[in-house]
Structure 1
Amino acid sequence: MRKELREKIVEACDHKIGQKGEGVGLSFYAFFKNKNDQPEVLMEAARWWIETHRLDHFEKALKIRGMVVSGV
Structure 2
Amino acid sequence: MDKKGEDVGLSFYAFFKNKNDEPELLIEAAHWWIITHQLDHFEKASKIKALVEHE
TM-score normalised per structure 1: 0.66
Q: Which consecutive residues of structure 2, in runs of 5 or more, have no partner in the other structure?
A: none
1:55 alignment counterpart: 39
Indicate yes or no: 2:24 matched with 1:40. yes
Partner residue in 2 for 1:6: none
Percent of aligned pairs sharing the same letter: 72
Judging by fraction of residues, say which structure has more helix: 1
RMSD of aligned residue pairs (Cα, Å): 1.4
Q: Provide Cα deviations, 1:23-70, integer angstroms capped at 9, x if missing partner.
A: 101110001133311111110000001111110010001100110111
Unaligned segments of structure 1, at least 5 residues: 1-18
Alignment partner of 1:27 is 2:11: yes
**Residues 26 and 35 of structure 1, relative CA distance in 2, 3 Å threshold:** farther
4+ residue runs over 6 A deviation: none
TM-score by length of 2: 0.84
